[in-house]
């Protein structure tokens, strides 16, 4: 039911397992995957939007969820999300639509959670 919580717990649990294996190249990649979205010449917000649109055109639901969470934390608003979605849709085509449906669903879950926390 609480898709957001399940997503986060599974992600955390499995990341821990993967990193504890101590395969140096995998761990370095994970490290790089965190660093690349940090503020630089482009803001972290912009980079997370880049991550989101990439995940949508490559059609990876879990990656989309992760970047939706991060974009929301960086202050992306609903109207901006739909403009990112529109770019993903035109670039990637109708094959993106099922992922768009799930993205909008997950976004509304994030919005509800934010409402409650106020």
Number of residues that bind a copy of itself (CB under 8 A): 64
* Main-chain dihedrals φ then ψ at residue 23, nearest 5 degrees: -80, 110
Q: Which residues contact 104 (CB under 8 A, 6 or more apart)?
A: 85
CB of 37 to a copy of itself, least distance (A): 7
Give the Cα separation of 48 and 71 in Å (integer).
Answer: 6
C-alpha torsion angle, residues 48, 17, 6, 52 (rounded to 10): 20
98 or 114: whose CB is closer to a copy of itself?
98
Question: Is residue 72 involved in binding a copy of itself (CB under 8 A)?
Answer: no
Summarize as ranges the residues that interact with a copy of itself (CB under 8 A): 10-11, 14-15, 17-18, 21, 23-26, 28-30, 32-33, 35-37, 40-42, 46-47, 49-51, 53-55, 57-63, 77-80, 82-98, 100-102, 104-105, 108
């Amino acid at each position: 039911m609480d898709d957001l919580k399940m997503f986060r717990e599974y992600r955390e649990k499995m990341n821990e397992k993967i990193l504890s294996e101590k395969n140096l190249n995998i761990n370095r990649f994970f490290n790089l995957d965190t660093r690349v979205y940090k503020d630089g010449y482009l803001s972290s917000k912009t980079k997370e939007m880049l991550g989101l649109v990439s995940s949508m055109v490559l059609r990876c639901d879990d990656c989309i969820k992760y970047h939706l969470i991060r974009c929301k934390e960086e202050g992306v608003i609903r109207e901006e999300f739909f403009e990112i979605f529109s770019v993903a849709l035109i670039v990637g085509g109708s094959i993106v639509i099922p992922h768009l449906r799930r993205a909008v669903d997950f976004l509304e879950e994030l919005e509800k959670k934010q409402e409650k926390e106020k």
